[in-house]
Structure 1
Amino acid sequence: MTRMRPPVWFWVAAAVLILWGLSGVFGFYMSLSAAARAQMSAYDRSLYENAPEWYMPVYGAAVWSGLIGSVLLAFRRRIARLFYIASLVAVVVMFVWTFAATDLIAVKGIATAVTFPMLIALIGAFQIWLADHAARRGWIG
């Protein structure tokens, strides 16, 4: 199949998704920083300190696979979709644990606790859709 030239909006979306991925990686490394944790509320700090051992590696996998997927999308590689799927699966695992095993919603309220995770999941779903759409249109191969 011959690859077709993507429209300008595809390039804009890919660039925005790379920036989104970079912000996720930055947030991940900041959450590992003792200085950043010291600035968190006692409750937020305790969430990180009491998380299971697998939590931070899954968090790292979520943000790094999302960023790699976005870079691959910009390079017009179909494998971006697999990285996006891996990222969304990791995000779901993280948030299922967070909402099922902690009292985050009770402490912060549903609007505060759920809004940003929902945004993250929606962007993850959009990334997969975009990779599928680009593949169907012949923009990536």
Structure 2
Amino acid sequence: MKNNANNISTNRKAFYEYDILKKYEAGIVLKGSEVKSIRENNSNIKEAYIRVKDDEIFIIGMNIAKYSHEGYSTHDPDREKKLLLHKNEIQNIKEEVEEKGKTIIPLNLYYKNGKVKIQFAIAKGRKLWDKRNYKKDQDVNREIDRAMKDIK
């Protein structure tokens, strides 16, 4: 997802540390104060991960800071938040993640038609040498892009 006005938070480290196999989009069950806090850009998905529990999917470790104008009733910033998906999608994800070495990681938090959505992926962790190759490939592609830009 490109960095645009609808983008709230991005997990850039995920693209470096994991091979992204398949992407999904889901809604999130949030409280009112959490939505207001997200609108103030007080959310973080860098340390978050996703788990399947009893045919439901939850995001764990997603931090949404307390809303600045909130009164006495506040939300827990680190509570588990349920993700909204169809039952067959949850079943497919559950089957894929049961394979060894695969995990579910959040990639982006963004607005879509006024609703907060999360893009997550089934991914496989990279080894250290994979990370080095990825970095080298990025540098080569960047140099190629610069050369092509100079030609135009």
State the TM-score, normalizing by the size of structure 2.
0.23
| Structure that is richer in helix per residue | 1
More strand by share: 2
Higher Cα Rg: structure 1 or 2? 2
